[in-house]
Amino acid sequence: MFDISHLAEVRSVMKKEGLKAYLVVTGDPHDSEEPAPYFAAERAYFCPFSGDNAYLLITADDALLWTDGRFFISAEQELKGSTIRLMKMQTKGYPTLDEYVAEKKLYPLGTNENLISPRFLKGLSKGGEVLDKDYSYLVKDRPSLSKDPIWEFNDKKYNTLSRDEKLLNVYQEMEKLGAEAHLITTLDDVAWLLNLRGNDVNCTPVFYSYLYLSKKEGTHLFVDPSRIHFELKGITVHPYGEIASFLAAHKDVPTLVDDTKCSARLFNELKNPVCSRAPSNLMKAIKGPTEIENIISIQEEDGVALLKFGKFLSEHAGEKLSEWDYAVQLGKYRAEGERYFEDSFTTISACGENAAMMHYAPTSKVHSVVDPDRVIELLVDSGGQYYGGTTDTTRTFLVGKPTPEYIHDYTLTLKSVINLSSTVFLDGCSGTAIDIKAREIMWREGMDYKCGTGHGVGYVLMVHEGPNGFRYRSAPGKDDQSRLVPGMVTTIEPGVYKQGKYGIRIENNLLCVPAFETSDGTFYKFETITFVPIDTKALDLSLLSDSEIAWLNAYHKEVYDRLSKRVGGDLLAYLKEATKPVSR
């Protein structure tokens, strides 16, 4: 879709309107991590980069793309020949977007205020005037928004709390904050609160909508009414596009709103905002008993799919199939699951230098052959959306002859997983405080992975969900600094990525649970709820302590105990071999 001539188009419009720069944001009016194609089309038109969390700044004679460490390698490759320069976020020698704009005095600057938060806008406009401009009309053949029906997810077998109970809890939090109304703009919060789901975003069952709660006027949902084919008792439904005029009519009402998630355009309609994180943001992260029971069950179901995949890979590794072939095969196995309905993200199936790009994903046209004579590993990061939960698992399989360097790095990765997974911590602790338990294993050797160690996982929702996560410092656009409490599910996924060589990642899902109480306080720990064998063929057991070996063997025993009830025959034999104890 990108062509260099498209940059000339927007520069021509900028010149006519007197702009020194135009900022293209990767996002939608709801601060979604991955926007629908309708919203993603603008950046794709002006830039060949395919990752997320990026900002494209276009000036009269330059173009720059800011993105984070997950995409440095892939961005360098994709931007070749585009005239667009890569700016590395949180990297020494690279200014932030705000700093660059202010230093170069790129004002007036235009950007679509429907796609940025008021807090983002405040930082951007510190040095000059920012104008609300939308040049997406230049995009040719822009996709339409989804018209698919919205579906109910309100059954008691899926939810600890009903729709009414969730709304009541939110109203109680509104009262504590002194708000008479509450504007909810994030799609996963709307879906979770109303126990509804949709198909508007790839691999994420949400729908484009806004929710407005009022003590006096009740609950108002802004969505295309033609997509709802059932009764929503007690909820007034309005067309999606009427949200701005509705807010204007209620502008003086003290309204709870998250000024990091709401668009600047809508926020400006409110004259009496009560700025705070949406209560549902934390509520949905703490899974109840019904959700936890379902999640563990579908993790077993997902584990069977990955077990089948591991067996397939072991039997076909010498046939030089492609990364794409393996991704398709895994998709077939996952689709055999009784409760599966779609992937939770595009499957990452990568070998060799491709695996060094954290978010590389093969396509039917662009992929590499998994040749054991040329590559050491196949890294597979994948997940599923099930009626009962969302999964995200990574395993790195040995397919070729490992070098001593690879064996060392693979073992370090597992040590990082074990060290954090085994952590006991005091109530009040955040993922920021204990991220070092994983990362220090590599820091000791002068190594680091340029991403967070883990993220929260939604419940039949976003595979990346705040506010919990593991990250040693705050990062722009990342909501993962919350304290950890029982019921939260968080991934742990340390890795080693060496450009031109290989990539290694091992990822499990951790459930926070109570540990014990003493006179010094309440302590928590983690239960690993991903049930997939970890490849042990490239481990240097001399680098593992006795306790680390014991952890690995105990984990594999649980994997065997859980999955052996679901499989038989040759697959059971493979499971037994893949989970056999290791020893020096």
Q: What is the CATH number of domain 289-578?
A: 3.90.230.10
* pLDDT per residue as tens digits for the range 438-465: 999 999 999 999 899 999 999 999 999 9
Is residue 70 within 8 A of residue 358, CB to CB? The reply is yes
Helix (H) or strand (E) holding 526: strand 521-528
Write down the pTM of the prediction: 0.95
Q: Could you give the CA distance from residue 565 to residue 552 in angstroms, rounded to a whole number?
A: 20
Q: Could you give the CA distance from residue 86 to residue 95 in angstroms, rounded to a whole number?
A: 11
Q: Work out the end-to-end distance of the chain between its first and last CA atoms, rounded to an integer number of angstroms.
A: 54
Q: Could you give the CA distance from residue 177 to residue 174 in angstroms, rounded to a whole number?
A: 5
Per-position DSSP letters for 16-64, written without gaps between them: HHT-SEEEEESS-TT--SS--HHHHHHHHHH-----SS-EEEEESS-EE
Per DSSP, what are the bridge partners of residue 511? 489, 527
Q: Which amino acid is at 433?
A: A
Per-position DSSP letters for 165-185, written without gaps between them: HHHHHHHHHHHHHT-SEEEE-
Residue 460 gets the label, from left (phi > 0), alpha (psi -120 to 50) or beta, of left
The pLDDT value recorded for residue 354 is 97
In 381-503, alpha helices (H) = 404-421, 431-434, 436-443
Task: Classify domain 4-138 by CATH architecture.
Answer: 3-Layer(aba) Sandwich (3.40)
Q: Which amino acid is at 464?
A: H
Ordered per-residue pLDDT tens for the chain, 584 residues: 899 999 999 999 999 999 999 999 999 999 999 999 999 999 999 999 998 889 999 999 999 999 998 899 999 999 999 999 999 998 999 999 999 999 999 999 999 999 999 999 999 999 999 999 999 999 999 999 999 999 999 999 999 999 999 999 999 999 999 999 999 999 999 999 999 999 999 999 999 999 999 999 999 999 999 999 999 999 999 999 999 999 999 999 999 999 999 999 999 999 999 999 999 999 999 999 999 999 999 999 999 999 999 999 999 999 999 999 999 999 999 999 999 999 999 999 999 999 999 989 999 999 999 999 999 999 999 999 999 999 999 999 999 999 999 999 999 999 999 999 999 999 999 999 999 999 999 999 999 998 999 999 999 999 999 999 999 998 877 888 999 999 999 999 999 999 999 999 999 999 999 999 999 999 999 999 999 999 999 999 999 999 999 999 999 999 999 999 999 999 999 999 999 999 99
In the numeric block, the tokens 């793309």 are attached to 65
E strand spans, 251-292: 255-257, 273-275
| Backbone dihedral angles phi then psi of residue 170, each to the nearest 5 degrees | -70, -40
CA distances from 198 to 66, 133, 344 (A): 31, 30, 13
387 DSSP assignment: T
Q: How far is CA 421 from the centre of its chain?
A: 20
In the numeric block, the tokens 């709870």 are attached to 256
Q: Could you give the CA distance from residue 12 to residue 6 in angstroms, rounded to a whole number?
A: 10
Residue 167 neighbours by CB under 8 Å, 6+ apart:
193, 213, 219
Domain ranges of the chain: 4-138, 151-283, 289-578
Please state whether beta strands 181-184 and 109-111 pair in parallel, antiparallel, or not at all (unpaired): unpaired
In the numeric block, the tokens 């549902």 are attached to 280
The pLDDT value recorded for residue 70 is 87
Is residue 203 within 8 A of residue 124, CB to CB? The reply is no
CATH class of 151-283: alpha beta
Residue 32 gets the label, from left (phi > 0), alpha (psi -120 to 50) or beta, of beta
**Is 151-283 in the same CATH topology as 4-138?**
yes
The pLDDT value recorded for residue 479 is 82
Q: Could you give the CA distance from residue 462 to residue 100 in angstroms, rounded to a whole number?
A: 32
Computed on alpha carbons and rounded to an integer, the radius of gyration of the chain in Å comes to 24
